[in-house]
Amino acid sequence: MAIKLIVGLGNPGAEYAATRHNAGFWLVDQLATDGKIMLRHDSKFHGLCGRVNIAGHDVWLLQPQTFMNRSGLSVVALAQFYKILPDEILVVHDELDMLPGLAKLKQGGGHGGHNGLRDIQSHLGTPNYWRLRVGIGHPGNKNEVANYVLKPPRKEEQEQIDNALIKCLIVLPKMVAGQSGAAMSLLHTDESKKREHKPALANSESVNKAS
């Protein structure tokens, strides 16, 4: 199944822009930059959105502006409006249970305590959407998690996360084209480290809707 909507999770506002919890925003920002579009606010969808062409497929990009624990409101609004099914949605999010530098694709499963995923699953009524998990590491103490995710990564961690995002950009054309097995195989090996990142997007179209 081809991907028609890529959602980056994060919190809106300059004070959160560089924090670990915004790793999903970072990837969608890069997709928009590569595609030479500007994400525009649409009040119907409670978020910033734009449309790009990846590997010959039109794909919506979305950054919910509802804060993390209400992300599902934005996702389901856009998905229902454009008749996008749950298994045509890819949600990009930070992952505590993976080290910085790692990224993995999966479909379905639990929310693992991630408030954004929890709300998306609640609104969609199913866990059967795709997730692109970007490792940010764990503070080691569950009582420190809330503070940890709302802080910027250390310099070396940021470099590792950036490398993981490059790997994600390399495999996204396969994922968008419905080649999930090939995308997962490539991402979950070291093969993509050997490839130079090139913009994955072409023929992009920005969306400017009244907010």
59: Cβ contacts below 8 Å, ≥ 6 apart: 3, 4, 5, 6, 51, 52, 53, 176
Task: Tell me the β-bridge partners of 105.
Answer: 132
| 188 catalytic per annotation | no
Residues pairing with 48 in the sheet: 41, 63
Rounded Cα distance, 192 and 170, in Å: 7
Residue 93's nearest CA partner among 58, 68, 128 is 68
Judge whether 123 and 64 are in contact, CB under 8 Å.
no
Q: How many CB atoms lie within 10 A of CB 141?
A: 9
Backbone angles phi, psi at 142, to 5 degrees: -65, -25
Q: Which residues are catalytic?
A: 21
